[in-house]
Structure 1
């Protein structure tokens, strides 16, 4: 595997090298970085022009300037990065990237992860319910989302996803007809997903409708929207639900080792809820407590899988680790929601709970939990804008891929052997259906970074998109090349990871 990674890295390095040369030349020849000074009436104009020429080394031919920039990039291998000076931001490009990259990565990573999970899940269900009302509805929705430009989605989300929601959060009240309509909508969705004969659909509609409407009614009656929280009861419900879904996906509902490992992981993490509250409070200034909690939760699941897995310990450790990771995220989210009231009192009234602009609230003071809630609040709209577009594509690809796999000979053989449809889909079809989707994920990751440029601009994020647009507008070659370098490296890493995922999904593919 190491040989494969090194070989792929070398090949992509050569591609990046050639591409960087072309991008550098195109950017340098696309405009004049002295244009703003040439038209200036400043009495020191000549001195300013001479200073910028010296600062940007404009007297040197463009191809030679590229190699000078490349030498600075080479210094990164020995810890001495020199990507040049940006005259637009008036700072080193490395400093500008250090401030911008985390914001863009958090946005793109969140959007990619959510779109993959939802898109694949909905696409698979749509394939299994082919030509049903659910399938036609999802097809219509995905076509609409796929045709919408990112900027329009972002503008609509500002109106309906922020302004209207903030108005509701200021006075969370829903009339009884609204609760009934919400319950009916929930019933319609679940009966379409579960499917079956008319009697089964009617039962599903009634039960799901009552549960959906009842949950909304309870949340309104208890004032949950004014002070949201998960608590120990919510943790138990979500933990057990996560365990049930994982067991259903793993096919281990009737296998004792699976039950012990998965539910044991959930039980331990629920038992740790009380001591973790003290730990979270006492270490509220330590940023690493959040990732450490998540890693510890995953480690607990893996440990249960290895101990109780027997011959299938590797597989069981993976499923138990996923369970631990999900429950760990719930634990972290529960602690973040505990500061909701404090956070809402600290932000300006004009901002609202869901901000429409910026990546952070200016001059906000607080511990890591306040900062985490602020980041989540600012991520909601731009992440949703990117997710909706990607979700449409993943849904269609997942549907088409599963339909193709379900017609393969080995799937018919599995059915002929008497395996249940759930086992056939989850163990034999699902894994192979993910192989072509992996390619799409890699390509979409680069596209999401490009889409983030527009999204960041609309939502006022000072991140990679802002740097790129400013650099391109003012012919700031160093700034544009910094953007190219980061995005290029990210796409290369994503491609290498995709190759490794191929080998994990299909044993016939070797990475050597």
Structure 2
């Protein structure tokens, strides 16, 4: 298992390095950070524009800028922002901590629901439960993420008005002033996560449950499962040790590949619920033509996607020992 893990880690390193180059080149060629400065009326002095170009390292060739930016990453320096007082590295860390607690909880909820619903639908194929889960799956798949988030927000507001108190939080990732200590702060953050988590989790669950159902049906009809039943093993043992373990491999692949889509969905969800997370950070950086901030966001996202796919590769070896010995 150790050799298998080391091979996967070594493969991920050049992929990460290549992603830094692609991220830098695409964002550097997209728009000049001083375009907004030149568009001001009246225009600033040419000397001011030249000093800003030097501060943002725009006077350097592209490859030299990339090399200096890459060296700065090892020191925790993501480059200068168009907002001279903003530390991009510190801001990215704070914003992604907010976003990843939403993504983590949403993925956990979606995975649990997908496994339960997918297994039950496969075991009880063509039953009422199977048809109902299929209908709900396609329903959630067809819903645009921003529209579903808006519906949940309006439903939360209507519910609060009906009961006459603030039960469901619809704005922000936490309250400004919370009294009562650590436990009160924790419950406040958890309360603000309810609606955004439902919005993000149900859209992911819809696709994952269909994959889990198809994978479970394929495994249940395999020869080794029929052999296990013929040997007299208990139904629960066959389902848990022989069927479900193998059926989780395709779901692991889909979950790892969908992380990028979940992060992009979190951007929309945060905008609807007015969270000050990584999604808002990205939208603000794009509107301000803050190239280094956009590069930092894309780099952190790419790093987590690569790490998540690496974790999925390692999980393959846990679920199916034949993979790590191949």
Do these two structures clear the TM 0.5 threshold for a shared fold by scoring above it?
yes
Q: Deviations over 1:397-430 (max 9, x none)?
A: 1110110000011111122123333332223211
Stretch of structure 1 that moved more, 30-39 or 432-441: 30-39
Query: Superposed, which structure 2 residues align to 1:412-491 within 5 Å?
Result: 412-491=226-305
Q: Aligned pair in 2 of structure 1 residues 43, 416: CA closer, same or farther (>3 Å)?
A: closer
Q: Once superposed, what is the RMSD of the aligned Cα atoms?
A: 2.0
* Equivalent residue, structure 2, for 1:113: 108
* Equivalent residue, structure 2, for 1:165: 159
Q: Is the 8 A contact 1:88 1:471 kept in 2?
A: no
- Between the aligned partners of 2:31 and 2:325, the Cα distance in structure 1 is 45
Relative contact order, CA 8 A, sep 6+: which one is greater? 2
Stretch of structure 1 that moved more, 480-489 or 105-114: 480-489
| TM superposition shift of 1:168 | 4.1
Q: Deviations over 1:98-132 (max 9, x none)?
A: 21011011010000000000111011101111111
| Counterpart secondary structure, 2:90 | helix
- Between the aligned partners of 2:124 and 2:84, the Cα distance in structure 1 is 53
| Counterpart secondary structure, 1:358 | coil
Q: Aligned pair in 2 of structure 1 residues 38, 138: CA closer, same or farther (>3 Å)?
A: same
Q: Is the 8 A contact 1:72 1:84 kept in 2?
A: yes
* Equivalent residue, structure 2, for 1:94: 89
Q: Deviations over 1:15-38 (max 9, x none)?
A: 222222122122122112112221
* Equivalent residue, structure 2, for 1:185: none
* Equivalent residue, structure 2, for 1:508: 322
| TM superposition shift of 1:153 | 0.8
Which blocks of at least 5 consecutive residues in structure 2 are unaligned?
A: none
* Equivalent residue, structure 1, for 2:63: 63
| Counterpart secondary structure, 2:201 | helix
| TM superposition shift of 1:43 | 7.5
Number of residue pairs matched?
326
Q: Is the 8 A contact 2:4 2:324 kept in 1?
A: no
- Between the aligned partners of 1:458 and 1:414, the Cα distance in structure 2 is 50
**Is 1:41 paired with 2:41?**
yes
- Between the aligned partners of 1:43 and 1:411, the Cα distance in structure 2 is 74
| TM superposition shift of 1:152 | 0.8
**Is 1:355 paired with 2:162?**
no
**Is 1:364 paired with 2:173?**
no
- Between the aligned partners of 1:119 and 1:503, the Cα distance in structure 2 is 22
Q: Is the 8 A contact 1:472 1:480 kept in 2?
A: yes
- Between the aligned partners of 1:5 and 1:474, the Cα distance in structure 2 is 42
Q: Aligned pair in 2 of structure 1 residues 89, 135: CA closer, same or farther (>3 Å)?
A: farther
Which residue of 134, 138, 141 maps to 2:136?
A: 141
Q: Is the 8 A contact 1:104 1:452 kept in 2?
A: yes
| TM superposition shift of 1:83 | 1.0
* Equivalent residue, structure 2, for 1:50: 50
Highest CA radius of gyration, 1 or 2? 1
- Between the aligned partners of 1:488 and 1:144, the Cα distance in structure 2 is 30
**Is 1:387 paired with 2:201?**
yes
Q: Is the 8 A contact 1:37 1:45 kept in 2?
A: no
Q: Aligned pair in 2 of structure 1 residues 409, 35: CA closer, same or farther (>3 Å)?
A: same
TM-score, normalised by the number of residues in structure 1: 0.61
| TM superposition shift of 1:511 | 6.5
Runs of 4+ in 1 over 3 A off after TM superposition: 1-7, 41-48, 363-366
